[in-house]
Structure 1
Amino acid sequence: MSTTLYPQLGACAAVRRSEDLPSSPGGVLLAQSLNGLKSMSVSGDGIFLDETAEPRLNTVAMQADPVANFQMVVPDFGTFAGEFRAASLEFGSETEAGVTFSVSLESNATVTFVSA
């Protein structure tokens, strides 16, 4: 089963390789950094939009081995997918629209990327 999260403000992703990333005057060449992706860290804040995502994420986080398949959709860029370990999970209720969350995920296996 795959869990798709829709992060709001404050989301960030870190892509790490076993070697230094090439850079250009404009910054890191992200397309080259995706080739040979070794690990990925993702953190973000959001709100649960349906009734299944909240209990699913909570179940994963509370397991002895908190690992599940996740998809991270980056609008106008692409989708990362793979097996991730829930490093941290926090719930809040700062809005009337529903329960908010803050999550940090670490890749546990190969991460795939499909551009938008």
Structure 2
Amino acid sequence: MAAQRGKDLLLKVDPAGGTNFQTVAGLRTRRIAFNAETVDVTDAESAGRWRELLGGAGVQRAALSGAGIFKDAASDAALRQLFFAGTVAPFQAIIPDFGSVTGPFQVTALEYGGEHNGEVSFEMTLESAGALAFAAL
């Protein structure tokens, strides 16, 4: 597989809760991270004192994050509204030559900043709030 352009990794939101996703405007960096907690079941009878884990027992989660230039687009307004309302909404991450991950997320951090001689920037963090679906491209 050939290398992929970072700009092709997209984060999308549908604040109405349907399937009409819009790309979050102005993002320069995007990230999706998957994590699973481990459940340690090691005891005195564990072979050679090696740690044993219980498969399929830990909580899984995903986090989406991004940073970019504030464009004051419809997606910016949607993120602000979702954050201040504490609403969970469908988001989608498109990963080139891999697939898409879609599911409910909550905006857990929204930051704005700017230099005197630069543009206004923003950063956002989203945490999964339910089961996610993967679809191969």
TM-score normalised by length of structure 1: 0.64
Written as runs of structure 1 = structure 2, the 5 A alignment for 1:11-30 is 11-19=30-38
Higher relative contact order (CA 8 A, sep 6+): 1
Structure 1 stretches of at least 4 aligned residues deviating more than 4 Å after TM superposition: 93-96
**Which 5+ residue runs of structure 2 have no aligned equivalent?**
1-15, 40-58
Aligned pairs (5 A) from 1:1-116: 1=16, 2=21, 4-5=23-24, 7-9=27-29, 11-19=30-38, 38-47=60-69, 51-63=73-85, 65-93=86-114, 100-116=121-137
- Stretches of structure 1 lacking an aligned partner (at least 5 in a row): 21-36
Counterpart amino acid of residue 103 in structure 2 = G
Q: Which has the larger strand fraction?
A: 1
Between 1:68-77 and 1:106-115, the stretch displaced more is: 68-77
In structure 1, distance between residues paired with 2:70 and 2:89: 18
Larger radius of gyration: 2
Q: CA RMSD in A?
A: 2.8
Deviation at 1:44, TM superposition (A): 1.5
- Measured in 1, the distance between the counterparts of 2:97 and 2:72 equals 23
Aligned partners of 2:129 and 2:111: how far apart in 1? Answer: 20
Q: Secondary structure at the match of 2:73?
A: coil
- Could you tell me how far 1:74 is from its partner in structure 2? 2.0
| Structure 1 residue 12, shift from structure 2 partner | 2.4
Number of matched pairs: 96
Question: Quick check: 2:108–2:127 contact (8 Å CA) kept in 1?
Answer: yes
Distance in 1 of aligned mates of 2:99 and 2:70 = 21
Change (3 A) 1:46 1:74: farther
Residues 67-90 of structure 1, C-alpha deviations (whole Å, 9 max, x = no match): 211111223322111110111011
Cα shift readout 1:30-86 (whole Å, capped 9, x = no counterpart) = xxxxxxx932112121345672101111000111x3321111122332211111011
